[in-house]
């Protein structure tokens, strides 16, 4: 745990690379239950557990990249493929005695733990939205889009896990100055933004190029990146309810992506009743 910002981006990357990254307590428990019945473990079932936890997801991807480099010419971009590449038993041998987020933040106070759990919950919701829209768009690989949304705010999650006082400081500045942009608040406290840290972590950890591309908002002219970005935006703007002033713009942009009206977007989110003809399954396209 650190209380003060590190001097530069290389120091942050080194810190996260040299320290074991904590996973959710529920992830550790489910993996231990599976470990007790290795003969019955299915790679897809295991992937579903991993894909609820952003830190576990990135740990698995980073773990399999060197293996992939020796055996394949292309990146492994899904968790089920990563598990099958490593093998079930070697996977469980690698991920033993996992540190949990809850244990790591035990002495940091309730606000720190609540803060990180809210951010992780936001990432999970973004991943669910992204996956649903990817299916609607007939995306060639909806799991890649899901993972990109889940990991979009990875650096924010890691900073909160390892330096909760800094995360709380950033949050306090944004609450005190509602017009302050998130990236500017991060630079005031850390000297750089979460996005700066994130892109460098992706590079150093050799995460798949495709996922780096999908996570980078600068590539927003591509529909798959829009899918990820809009899912993250919606999860962020609705994190504390559905009254945020930015949400109407989100509904409009999501509608453009999916080729449906903003009203239909709201219906699909359960915010408005579905007309009878749509409820009967007769909605056109």
**Which tens digit of pLDDT belongs to each residue from 171-228?**
999 999 988 999 999 999 999 999 999 999 998 998 888 788 888 888 888 999 999 9
Give the long-range contacts of residues 79-88, CB within 8 A, separation 24 or more. Answer: 79/47, 79/50, 79/51, 79/143, 79/147, 80/43, 80/44, 80/46, 80/47, 80/143, 83/43, 83/46, 83/47, 83/50, 84/43, 88/38, 88/41, 88/43, 88/46
CB 38 within 8 A of CB 92: yes
Counted domains in the chain: 2
Instruction: Decide if 280 is inside a domain.
Output: no
Pair (70, 204) in one structural domain: no
- Report d(CA 141, CA 207) in Å as an integer: 17
Pair (232, 111) in one structural domain: yes
CATH of the domain at 179: 1.10.3210.10
Pair (158, 231) in one structural domain: yes
Give the H/E segment covering residue 2: none
Pair (31, 149) in one structural domain: no
pTM of the predicted protein model: 0.90
CA distance to 47, 224, 254, per residue, from 27 (Å): 11, 28, 31
Q: Which tens digit of pLDDT belongs to each residue from 266-282?
A: 999 999 887 765 555 54
Domain carrying residue 190: 103-272
Domain's final residue, options 101, 125, 148:
101
């Amino acid at each position: 745990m650190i209380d003060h910002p590190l001097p530069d981006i290389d120091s942050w990357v080194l810190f996260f690379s040299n320290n074991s990254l904590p996973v959710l307590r529920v992830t550790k428990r489910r993996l231990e239950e599976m470990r007790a019945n290795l003969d019955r473990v299915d790679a897809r079932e295991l992937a579903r557990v991993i894909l609820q936890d952003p830190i576990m997801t990135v740990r698995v991807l980073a773990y399999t990249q060197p293996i992939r480099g020796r055996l394949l010419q292309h990146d492994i971009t899904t968790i089920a493929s990563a598990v099958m590449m490593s093998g079930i038993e070697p996977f469980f041998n690698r991920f033993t005695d996992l540190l949990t987020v809850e244990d790591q933040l035990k002495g940091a106070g309730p606000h720190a733990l609540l803060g990180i759990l809210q951010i992780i919950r936001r990432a999970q919701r973004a991943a669910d939205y992204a996956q649903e829209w990817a299916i609607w768009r007939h995306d060639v690989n909806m799991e890649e889009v899901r993972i990109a949304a889940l990991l979009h705010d990875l650096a924010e999650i890691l900073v909160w896990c390892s330096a909760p006082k800094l995360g709380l400081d950033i949050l306090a500045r944004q609450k005190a100055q509602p017009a302050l942009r998130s990236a500017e608040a991060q630079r005031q406290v850390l000297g750089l933004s979460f996005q700066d840290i994130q892109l460098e972590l992706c590079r150093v950890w050799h995460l798949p190029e495709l996922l780096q591309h999908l996570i980078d908002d600068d590539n927003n002219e591509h529909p798959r990146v829009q899918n990820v970005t809009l899912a993250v935006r919606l999860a962020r703007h609705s994190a504390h309810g559905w009254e945020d002033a930015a949400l109407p713009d989100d509904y409009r942009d999501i509608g453009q992506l999916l080729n449906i009206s903003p009203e239909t977007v709201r219906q699909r989110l359960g915010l408005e009743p579905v007309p009878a003809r749509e409820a009967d399954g007769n909605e056109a396209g």
